[in-house]
Structure 1
Amino acid sequence: MTNAAAANRTAERADSRAIGAGRGLAWLLVITGAAGLLASWVITLDKFKLLEDPNFTPACSLNPIVSCGNVMKSEQAAAFGFPNPMLGLGTYAVVVALGAGLLAGARYRRWYWLGLNAGTLFGVGFCTWLMIQSLYEINALCLWCCLAWIATLVMFWYTTSHNVRHGVIPAPAALRTFFDEFTWVLPVLHTGIIGMLVLTRWWDFWTS
């Protein structure tokens, strides 16, 4: 049987049963979801204060570069017509609830795991767009936004790893083996790339 055929059979078996997860992934979803939820909550509160008082300065506005206020006032901060963190309040809460369910022994069907994977992939894409906008258009960083970025990419990579290893996403044996042993490499590398972009974007400021 070819690797592709074996992967498809594994996916078919995953379709017919509910799949749980280890406590490691469950806790990771709870923690990263809570981190994203905290960031969204703080930004939402500061956004309300900014609407009440245009001269309000958020606590995380530390200098011309690390300036949450400048990010909140930008057009990109309401990409869908409402403040971005309001989207986070709903989506990160779902992740926390899902992780808590796994801790309690819940098991989910393949379509549910694929939905989580699709949602976290959208989150990574949206966070990447926001990061590019912050670095090259808004020219400012929001520390709470950075926390949400990191939380989202970590939950994406570990959800993807779980789905590949359990046959939810068909994949060759070599890729399953890689995710078994080296899942941690991907979020570390992803975070490192973001860190290097931030460092090089304002190198003169950081080193002055």
Structure 2
Amino acid sequence: MRVGLLFGSFNPIHIGHLILANYMAANTTLDTVWLVVSPQNPFKPSSSLLHEFDRLHMVRLAIADNPDLGVTDIEFRMPKPSYTIDTLTYLKERYPTYQFVLIMGEDNLATLHKWKNYEQILDLYEVLVYPRPGSAKAPEPIRSNPKIKLVPAPLLDISATFIRSCLKEGKSTRYLLAEPVEEYIKAKRLYQ
């Protein structure tokens, strides 16, 4: 089974994430896409992060009706901050018959050379890259690596930061969030 891995804080998960994950599952050679909820990104401060179990629950709510998508909390049991190569290694040990494929935006590809053991990632894993207009180009030889595949996935210019700001200011997030996620946020008064 070919499993695409879309890593993220999902703070909160929004329709941009869902459209991207669904597109990758439906329009590439992947059998499924797992959303990997990251407790802490090594490149971002954790101060604005909602508790990891709330973020995990919101992802579950958002994808509940889509059999092509899954979610994993594998990084919750790993040292923090979590590094992609360690997660990939752990997943490969746990699911030896699965072929894991990394999904990332062009902005992350441009900084891949700063990631822990990035050469090993490129040696062992295919990487599907979706467009991020305005992002810097990845340096050579990363950009021309045969494991890198550009996928013309649709992209909405929506950020979790913008959504958190709307929630804090009491503005509508209708159509930005899956309905069950929006209801959960309102019920628990999150991001206020």
Name whichever structure is richer in strand by fraction. Answer: 2
TM-score (norm 1): 0.25
Question: Which has the bigger relative contact order, CA under 8 A and spacing at least 6?
Answer: 1
- Larger Cα-atom Rg: 1
